[in-house]
């Protein structure tokens, strides 16, 4: 299988306009950014699947993806000068806000999946299946929330309407 798509992700309304929060003790201002632009992404995904066994319910699969995001929305801490502060009473404060990334970021991943229905078990246990996956993900620069290695697995059971 192959797939391709483009998306546009608009900023949440609270990131564009909301009340500022000022912490005078720590000299921090949390502020919206009305100049925030949408994120654009383009993604390509390819998968190879092999179904096996008498029922065809068992599968080995390899999935690869490539996702390029332009204008990624990032949370940042800025000085009052970087933020463009014009209020003298907030001079020297740090401003926590969101901005768009200057450069695009590219995410890539490769995933291996395995699922097998254990139909060779005795009748009452034939609805048991085993699954597992390993995913390797990386980006061309550090990005919050990117998990480089992920291993997942599970055991499922199904019997009649149960």
Average pLDDT over residues 30-46: 94
Q: What pLDDT does 162 receive? A: 61
**Has this prediction a pTM greater than 0.85?**
no
Mean pLDDT for the chain overall: 91
Q: What is the pLDDT of residues 60-104, one digit of tens each?
A: 999 999 999 999 999 889 898 888 888 999 999 999 999 899 899
Burial classification of residue 93, based on how many CB atoms lie within 10 Å of its CB (0-12 exposed, 13-18 middle, 19 or more buried): buried
**In which band, very low, low, confident or very high, does the pLDDT at 144 lie, cut at 50, 70 and 90?**
confident
């Amino acid at each position: 299988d192959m797939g391709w798509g483009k998306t546009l992700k608009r900023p949440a309304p609270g990131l564009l306009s909301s009340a500022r929060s000022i912490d005078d003790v720590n000299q921090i201002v949390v502020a919206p950014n009305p100049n925030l632009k949408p994120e654009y992404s383009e993604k390509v995904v390819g998968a190879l699947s092999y179904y096996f066994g008498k029922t065809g319910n068992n599968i080995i699969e390899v999935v690869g993806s490539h996702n390029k995001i332009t204008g990624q929305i990032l949370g940042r801490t800025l000085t009052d000068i970087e933020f463009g502060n014009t209020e003298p009473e907030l001079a020297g404060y740090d401003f926590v806000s969101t901005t768009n990334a200057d450069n695009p970021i590219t995410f890539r991943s490769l995933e291996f999946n395995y699922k097998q229905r254990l139909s060779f078990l005795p009748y009452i246990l034939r609805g048991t299946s085993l699954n597992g996956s390993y995913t390797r993900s990386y980006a061309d620069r550090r990005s919050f929330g990117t998990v480089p290695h992920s291993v997942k697995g599970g055991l499922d059971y199904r019997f009649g309407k149960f």
